[in-house]
């Protein structure tokens, strides 16, 4: 026996409304941060509206900092502000961590705002399992306007040029990295309206001798003589990505 509605039933009997058949669309309309790319099954959402101790901060120098901020936000009131050290080398970062996941394609999404120029901004996922670890990291170099990917040897390799992002505007950028935790290869990168196929690249492999887990990162490098900042909002982690 067939199920469903008649072909004309979507708008039947109404002139001012339209029936909603997609529950993901309903969630987005009700304010869910998952509105940029809705593929994958969500295992973590955080808009940073509540004080939390669920993150680790990496501060490479004494003048680096990570703290919640009300200065800018993509949704709600709060974001996290990452301030890089002014030595032009160090970085400020934030890390979320989960126990090891069932091996599938994993997605990591962050939204970020740039109040001024920076050195570079990176996002990444590190899969740690028993005797080995695998890292997938991509980044945007502000001065060079290039996207970088860390290849199987752990070296940064440019894979896109002419990538400009809005600076000192209320505009928020969104980046989503997808990797395959089973084959240890990159899958794709989404950055605002752009999509990049990264399936030609293997993740960087390194020895690991502790308990299994998965880490999800964002970090920024500053320019020499500047404490460059990046605002982060709406962290979304997914599994079972197509």
DSSP 130: T
CB 152 within 8 A of CB 205: yes
pTM summary value: 0.88
Cα torsion 231, 59, 236, 173: sign: positive
DSSP 13: T
Q: What is the pLDDT along the chain (242 residues), one digit of tens a residue?
A: 455 555 545 555 555 555 656 666 655 565 566 767 879 999 999 999 988 789 999 998 999 999 999 999 999 999 999 999 999 999 999 999 999 888 899 999 999 999 999 999 999 999 999 889 999 999 999 999 999 999 999 999 999 999 999 999 999 999 999 999 999 999 999 999 999 999 999 999 999 988 999 999 999 999 999 999 999 999 999 999 99
**Best CATH choice for the domain 41-239 from the list 3.30.70.120, 2.60.120.200, 3.90.1170.50, 2.60.120.260:** 2.60.120.200
């Amino acid at each position: 026996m067939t199920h469903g509605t008649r072909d004309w039933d979507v708008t039947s009997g109404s002139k001012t409304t339209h029936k909603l058949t997609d529950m993901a669309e309903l969630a987005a309309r009700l304010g869910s941060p998952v509105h940029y790319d809705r593929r994958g099954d969500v295992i973590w959402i955080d808009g940073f509206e509540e004080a939390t101790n669920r993150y680790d901060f990496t501060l490479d120098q004494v003048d680096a900092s990570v703290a919640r901020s009300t200065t800018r936000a993509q949704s709600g009131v709060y974001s996290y502000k990452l301030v890089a050290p002014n030595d032009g080398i160090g970085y400020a970062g934030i890390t979320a961590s989960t126990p090891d996941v069932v091996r599938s394609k994993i997605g990591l999404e962050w939204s970020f705002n740039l109040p001024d120029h920076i050195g570079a901004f990176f996002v990444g996922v590190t899969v740690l399992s028993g005797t080995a670890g695998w890292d997938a990291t991509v980044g945007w170099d502000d001065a060079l306007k290039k996207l970088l990917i860390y290849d199987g040897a752990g070296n940064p390799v440019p894979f896109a040029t002419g990538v400009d992002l809005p600076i000192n505007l209320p505009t928020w950028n969104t980046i989503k990295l997808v990797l395959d935790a089973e084959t240890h290869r990159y899958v794709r990168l989404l950055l605002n309206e752009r999509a990049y196929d990264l399936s030609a690249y293997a993740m960087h492999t390194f020895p690991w001798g502790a308990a299994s887990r998965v880490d999800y990162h964002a970090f920024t490098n500053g320019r020499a003589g500047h404490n460059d900042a990046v605002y982060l909002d709406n962290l979304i982690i997914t599994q079972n990505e197509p």
